[in-house]
Amino acid sequence: MTDQSIIFFDIDGTLLNDEKELPKSTKEAIYKLKENGHIVAIATGRAPFMYANLRAELDIDTYVSYNGQYVVLNGEVLYTNPLNIPALETLTEDALNHNHPVLFMDHEDMKANVPEHPYIHESINTLKIEQFPTHDPLYYQDRELYQSMVFCAEGEEVYYQEKYQDFDFVRWHPVSVDVLPKGGSKAKGIEQIIKKLGFPKERQFAFGDGPNDVEMLSSIYNSVAMGNAGDHLKSVAKYVTKSVDNNGIQYGLEMVGLL
């Protein structure tokens, strides 16, 4: 179809509500998009294994994980951007001295460098996923890692931001910060898919709600901020829809003319 579009959806606060539930209207809207011949993709900060069930439920096999560091197109890995392991090893030793646990994450699993810590439980449990990190302090060795987490209170990440120039630090929880390769973003991951498929800007759409969606909504021509998004994200988006719990996805797709 000549007017085929590609639509990228964030997960938390966009496809899923605060209870990590998929609204019925959202599921129906996604299936309608696919029936109409459009390509539906996910762009998230989550690891691939954290939303395998959601991909299966929505029959989606194109996705951007780890805020752009692990990109899959039609079920095949298209692009990866791993962390600098020597720099991560140094950061981990430093964090351990500050009693800040570190999580190591690849495309299949996540391992913590300490056996137990309340910050790990407090933050990971909010994701409401089946998989919980187990202990392996050497998991960073001999493998590619696409994201890490440092568990620390708000403001404490400034120390790491100033000291470790190989990474970007993005807070997603009051006691947890994502560690990404410098300059990595959902927008960079999406760029790899667009480059491969060749969609014109007018046929590119993206929906998001959080701070890690700023680059995505700033770069995608038809960008839609959820009603539950912050003011800054709404200011960079072309459109603003209703909240996720108020049929925001369905309403937004109708607003931009895709449904």
Q: Rg for the chain (alpha carbons), in Å?
A: 18
Mind giving me the DSSP string for 125-162? GGG--S---EE-TTTTTTS---EEEE---TTTHHHHHH
Residue 62 and residue 73 in contact, taking contact as beta carbons nearer than 8 Å: yes
Q: Say what angle helices 24-35 and 248-255 make with each other, to 10 degrees.
A: 40
Tell me if residue 59 is catalytic: no
Residue 137 and residue 148 in contact, taking contact as beta carbons nearer than 8 Å: no
Residue reference for tokens 């400034």: 158
Q: Is 154 exposed, middle or buried (0-12, 13-18, 19+ CB in 10 A)?
A: exposed
Given 3, 10, 231, 245, the catalytic residue: 10
Which strand ranges, in their side-by-side order, compose the sheet holding 110-112?
134-135, 110-112, 102-105, 147-150, 176-181, 167-173
- Residues recognised as catalytic: 10
